[in-house]
Amino acid sequence: GEEVAQTPKHLVRGEGQKAKLYCAPIKGHSYVFWYQQVLKNEFKFLISFQNENVFDETGMPKERFSAKCLPNSPCSLEIQATKLEDSAVYFCASSHRDRDKNIQYFGAGTRLSVL
């Protein structure tokens, strides 16, 4: 598709429950990125993929967070045993390998509310 599609738009979980977020990148884009927006306007990098391989995971919390980008499937970000502080908007972005100096195109985000 021509847009980065994120689902669901809003996810509500009780503390301790699992949360799984999905991202379909733009067709033909090699890179996928996940960002977490907790405080107003602060976008924090989590992890990126080049095709199905992890490219950079320096922002991923060591525990409870995992992500995958498998061929012919949407990418996913999973949080095991959610905590209150995981409440945030999670943005996915994708970029083409060689075009426009890797301009990143963003989805509309998934708002995770942990109660």
Partner 1 sequence: ILNVEQSPQSLHVQEGDSTNFTCSFPSSNFYALHWYRWETAKSPEALFVMTLNGDEKKKGRISATLNTKEGYSYLYIKGSQPEDSATYLCAFSSNQGGKLIFGQGTELSVKP
Binding site for partner 1 (CB under 8 A): 3-4, 30-31, 33, 35, 41-43, 45, 48, 50, 55-56, 58-59, 91, 93, 95, 97, 100-109
Report, in Å, the least distance between residue 40 CB and partner 1. 8
Question: Residue 3 or 15: which CB sits closer to partner 1?
Answer: 3
Question: Residue 10 or 18: which CB sits closer to partner 1?
Answer: 10
Report, in Å, the least distance between residue 81 CB and partner 1. 26
- Following DSSP, what letter does each residue of 38-102 receive, concatenated? -STT-EEEEEEEETTEEEE-TTS-SSSEEEE--TTS-EEEEESS--GGG-EEEEEEEE-SSSGGG
DSSP state of 28: T
Report, in Å, the least distance between residue 68 CB and partner 1. 18
Residues 99 and 60: their CA atoms lie apart, in Å, by: 27
Question: Residue 27 or 101: which CB sits closer to partner 1?
Answer: 101
